[in-house]
Amino acid sequence: MQLPESTIDDEQSSRQTRTSVVVRRVVLSFFLLVLVAGAVGVLGVHTTTASNSEAGWTLELEYAEVARGGLDVPWEVTVERQGGFTGPITLAVDGAYFDIYETQAFHPQPSAMMRDGSTMFLEFDPPLAGETFVVAYDAYIQPGSQIGSTATVAVLDGEVQVAPVEFSTRLLP
């Protein structure tokens, strides 16, 4: 009968122990990195502003460039027109963009909403005075939304879309 080389044959070798320590440290470092990123807001909502001016109109959009499901996000359009507004203000937006949202309401409410195949038209009464109109969309990202969306918003001047602003919202898990 041959004697075992060690009385602790079932114990891990020092190489296996070192490997498991390294793996634990890498995994814990990853979790710490995610925790720190969340604590400093890297994984939250990041807003940005985009604007365009054309034919006497200026359109500015504040929106969530990066967001996560279940979070409130801004979507606010400011329209300025030299000389003020002579009639209703109509915004043209890619309608599919709003599919990532749970809708609360537009503020102010549109006086009319229409949609052709892909574009949603939101018509608003003009402000009582001044050259600036602001509309905000009170909404949050649907908890089930996994993919962001890209769209364009423009103001209608007659039948022509002017001052278009392209924007994109990317969603993180």
Q: Which tokens go with 141?
A: 């990202």
Query: Could you tell me which residue, 64 or 37, shows the higher pLDDT?
Result: 64
What is the average per-residue pLDDT within 47-73? 94
Q: What percent of the chain has a predicted confidence (pLDDT) above 70?
A: 90
> What single-letter DSSP state applies at residue 144?
T
Alpha-carbon distances of 24 from 14, 18, 21, 29, 33, rounded to whole Å: 15, 10, 5, 8, 14
Residues 167, 61 contacting (CB under 8 angstroms) = yes
The pLDDT assigned to 104 comes to 79
Distance CA 62, CA 78 (A): 9
The pLDDT assigned to 44 comes to 74
What is the average per-residue pLDDT within 31-36? 84
Is the pLDDT confidence value at 3 over 70? no
Report the mean per-residue pLDDT for the chain: 88
Distance CA 35, CA 43 (A): 10
The pLDDT assigned to 93 comes to 97
Q: What percent of the chain has a predicted confidence (pLDDT) above 90?
A: 56
The pLDDT assigned to 55 comes to 93
Give the pLDDT band of residue 4 (cuts 50, 70, 90).
low
pLDDT, tens only, 86-129: 899 999 999 899 999 988 799 999 999 999 989 999 999 999 98
Is the pLDDT confidence value at 10 over 80? no
How many residues make up the chain in this entry?
173
The pLDDT assigned to 122 comes to 96
pLDDT, tens only, 124-162: 999 998 999 999 999 989 988 888 999 999 999 999 999
Query: Kindly report the CA angle at 154 between 150 and 159, in degrees rounded to 5?
Result: 130
